[in-house]
Amino acid sequence: MSFYQLVKSSPDYKNYAFQISVSKCGESESKGSHTFSIAWGDLRFENNNITYNKCIIHSSMFIVLDGKSSTCNFSTFRENNQTKSVSLYFGSNSDSEVQTVSYCNVIGNKCETDDDQVLFLCRFNTTVDHCVFLNNTAKYMFWIFFEDCTLTITDSCIQSNSKTGSGTLKLIIENISQFDSFDCFKEPKLMTVKVSRFCSFAEFSNVLFTKK
């Protein structure tokens, strides 16, 4: 485990992770787990880069809510590699909470494709908006764990919407005008995205979206 941030199980305790980079941690995809874990309290995750990490499981992120809804915004999860399932995990101790993931990049992350490996798991109602899911490897992109849970994806670039689990996946993407994956992931020095309401971007950066 590279980074673990935990507070007492109460929404009165602030649990913020802002402007953190966790990069190039782990020896291989066959050792260790949990690149970045954050749990409980009034949880906020913003402007972070989790990139180029290696471990067995949860190579991108592991979040657990307990008592309050949470946001994960303006962050990049890129080229994190693992052998087991679930690169990004969003869990909760209550089904009344909502996780919102906004303006995030999930690009080039790898799980194995045998044994039904999954990239993104949510165990409660989750909203994804204005995000990019591009060039990721897994048997399924999304796992909605419980039958009464819904993953709602709006105004986002999703190369694959394959899903498993008993929950519901809702795609609302009317506002995407043009998505050209060739333009979105060019050479290591250049990326551009042609999507309405998204930031225009030319110079290479780990963060594709920037907060104004």
Residue 194 within any structural domain of the chain: no
Mean pLDDT of 203-210: 43
Percent above pLDDT 90 for the chain: 65
For residue 123, being part of any structural domain is answered with: yes
pLDDT interval class at 11 (50, 70, 90)? confident
Mean pLDDT, residues 141-170: 94
Task: Quote the domain boundaries for residue 39.
Answer: 3-176
- pLDDT value at 179 more than 90: no
Whether residue 158 lies inside any domain: the answer is yes
pLDDT of residue 185: 42
Q: Identify the residue with better confidence: 27 or 156.
A: 156
**Overall number of domains in the chain:** 1
Q: Are 80 and 60 in contact (CB under 8 A)?
A: yes
Q: Could you read off the pLDDT of 74-99 as tens digits, one per residue?
A: 999 999 999 999 999 999 888 788 99
Query: pLDDT value at position 205?
Result: 42
Residue 28 falls within a domain, yes or no? yes
Residue 115 placed within a domain: yes
Its pTM stands at 0.81
| Amino acid (one-letter) located at 92 | S
Amino acid identity of residue 83, one-letter, is T
- Average pLDDT of span 164-183: 69
Instruction: Report, as an integer, the average pLDDT of 125-143.
Output: 96
Position 1 scores a pLDDT of 61
In a domain, 187, yes or no: no
DSSP strands (E only) in the chain: 3-6, 14-18, 21-23, 36-39, 42-46, 49-51, 61-65, 70-73, 76-78, 88-92, 99-102, 105-107, 118-122, 126-129, 132-134, 140-144, 150-154, 157-158, 163-164, 168-172
pLDDT score, position 178: 42
Q: State the chain's mean pLDDT as an integer.
A: 83
194 vs 15, more confident: 15
Q: 209 in a domain, yes or no?
A: no
